[in-house]
Amino acid sequence: MITSLILICLIAFGGMALTYLVVDDEAFMWRLAAGSIIGSAFFGLIGFCLALAVGLTPVVVGVSVVLTAAPLVLLTQKGIGGNFRHDWAKAKGKFQGGTLKRFEGFAYYAFFFVLFWFFFDQAMYETAQGIFTGGSQNLGDLPFHLGAIYSFTDGNNFPPQNPSFAGARFSYPFIADFLTACFMKFGVEVRDAMFVQNVTWAFSLVIVLERFTVKLTGSKLAGRIAPFLLIFSGGLGFAGFFKDYWAGTKGFWDLLWALPRDYTIGDNYRWGNSMVVLFITQRSLLLGMPLTVMVLGYLWRVFATGDEAHADSGSVVDPHEKKCKKSKKGEHETAVESGYSPLLKPLFVGLLAGTLPLIHLHSLAVLFVVTGFLFIIKPKSWQTWAAFGVGVSAVAIPELLWTMSGTATETSKFIGWNFGWDKREDNIVWFWVKNTGLMIPVIVAGLYLLLTGPKDDSEKKAYGDGFVNLPKGRGVTLALFYVPFFFIFIVSNIVKLAPWEWDNIKVLIYWFIGSIPLIAYAIAWAWNQGIVLKAAVAGVILVLTLGGVLDVWRTASGQIKAKVFDSDAIKIADKIKQKVPADALFLNAPTYNSAVVLSGRRSFMRYSGHLSSHGIDYASRERDTSMIYGGGAMADVFLRDDNIEYVLISPEERNSATLQAKDELFAKYPVVAESGQYKVYKIK
């Protein structure tokens, strides 16, 4: 754990130094959070490029850490170094004194940190019985990520082949898992590496989203509300909790400690809670989302000002912050004042966004849509948009070309008409009402407030103390900024953007991200109107988050104990690592939790659900697998033609209705590893 913390700190501080090239008005905490994401993105890309050349070794990881931390030399420059010292002094000052305001701020961030600690502690844990997960939706995703991680650490998978479909390019965005593999090369256990990274990225997302909302709305209260809306997202499924309570025999608290199911995802509810269905299962999104929100924040500043040279004024700050910023610039130079071209900022942000194809491709697609709309709406900033585009293209195009060459993914399977997303038999209006509760009505209220906002100072007073109002005309600008997010919502309800229609959530979640500032703005406005609306606001927040609170609590409290691998699977995987070449090709049952996953070796075919969701046609391999395990007359021919080197026989293969594997059919081959009911036969 200590090694993980040291590595994540070095990466974060290197990335933090780079933030001074882009923004001049952010606090130290935001810079450190952004730095952990920027550093992770660049560390992953640097390490991967080096590993392609010489393999993944501790030396490669060490060099990558040094290169990622190298931007710290920027802090020795007069202007940037002065800004850093100013930010550091201001950050230390916030911990001095015991005011209620400072305690509230500390408690706010401490709450999320503790929550993430307990929640992600359940992502994976090991007992004497095997490897378990406490995530209800993580049963298939955990072994998928472990398969990718171990393929890097123990399978010498460079250039990466798909470990679940050997011979094809690994086109899934794998940088998050590669980062875990890098930590492991420094002696960190896989669970500890994933845990530290997950907690760090999730906490960074909270800080980045909070500041993004403040930038857009001008409301610190809205900023504080925003992370709660994302972390505890959910619809009306909480009604099922009360139904379970009234229909059951358990008391209220007993039921809370033994929740029978998730309330935001299931047959009747498809939106799901972001923590339960996305962040614990899709580690790529957990890294890609805060990066994308940072880029969106920058695009907002450019869009709001229309002038890169003054992009930092795209935020709304209170008079005290303005005074501090003015004083700060009086003492120290900004990046632009130090002689850097104003176009360096959009170029650098573009380079950062360009890393997304290997981190989370759907996030890049969202940025493409948003940037296109913003350029059409305000084309006069064409030089800034062009510099941003050049930066993105310089990194993203080579990555895309590389991932597309040799891939088994059929892109034609990713696009198709599909009205109503995953509504099934529901009426589309009712589907969205029950899945999102009051979310859409509150979005409309937020837009109304933006477009009708206060006309003069007397009306501004009605917003209440502590609520920073938007400057004149900013409401319309923010409403226009929301247009591409609304477009994403419409398209996602008409077109299937992935082979499995539910995977549209990877794009739809950004409609929600774009909507959160509007929702938070409306709630913050209502909170400042008086005691009656305060009560209404409490009810609205309860409806928006109760389902998510229940599901997050169910995971964080350790109520779910789903076994992924038994102890013999772990033992046979260790023996495979010792006795089987790293690049060996295995035949195993097409299931998500084959013991081969833990060995890092490639599989002829694994879980069909994963393969189909990635647009891979696996039918011929599925047929060959059945023929070989069935012991048909052509079994030996298929073994030879498919170049199978090792065959695993385990309870999965024996108990499968389609395989029904029998050990005697492979008795002519030597057994190279055995543990309990697991046997590995050497074919070649």
d(CA 213, CA 413): 36
Mean pLDDT, the chain, rounded, equals 91
Structure tokens at 105: 């701020």
pLDDT at 294 over 90: yes
Whether residue 386 contacts residue 427, with contact meaning beta carbons closer than 8 Å, is answered with no
Distances (CA, A) of 259 to 270, 327, 458, 497, 550: 19, 54, 50, 33, 8
pLDDT at 104: 87
pLDDT at 472: 62
pLDDT tens per residue, range 189-230: 999 999 999 999 999 999 999 999 999 998 999 999 999 999
pLDDT tens per residue, range 410-463: 888 888 999 999 999 999 999 999 999 999 999 999 999 988 876 555 555 544
pLDDT at 318 over 60: no
Residue 669 is given by DSSP the state S
Structure tokens at 682: 């050497």
Whether residue 237 contacts residue 263, with contact meaning beta carbons closer than 8 Å, is answered with yes
The pLDDT confidence band at residue 320, using thresholds 50, 70 and 90, is very low
CA max distance for the chain: 90
Residue type, 287: L
- 443: Cβ–Cβ under 8 A, 6 or more apart, which residues? 515, 518, 519, 522
In the three-class reduction of DSSP (H, G, I as helix; E, B as strand; rest coil), residue 680 is classed as: strand
Percent composition of the chain: helix, strand, coil (DSSP 3-state, to 5): 65, 5, 30
pLDDT at 25: 83
The pLDDT confidence band at residue 594, using thresholds 50, 70 and 90, is very high
pLDDT at 355: 97
pLDDT at 647 over 60: yes
d(CA 565, CA 139): 10
pLDDT tens per residue, range 49-99: 999 999 999 999 999 999 999 999 999 988 899 999 999 988 887 777 667
d(CA 233, CA 272): 8
Please tell me whether the peptide bond between 159 and the residue prior to it is cis, using omega within 30 degrees of 0.
yes
In the three-class reduction of DSSP (H, G, I as helix; E, B as strand; rest coil), residue 240 is classed as: helix
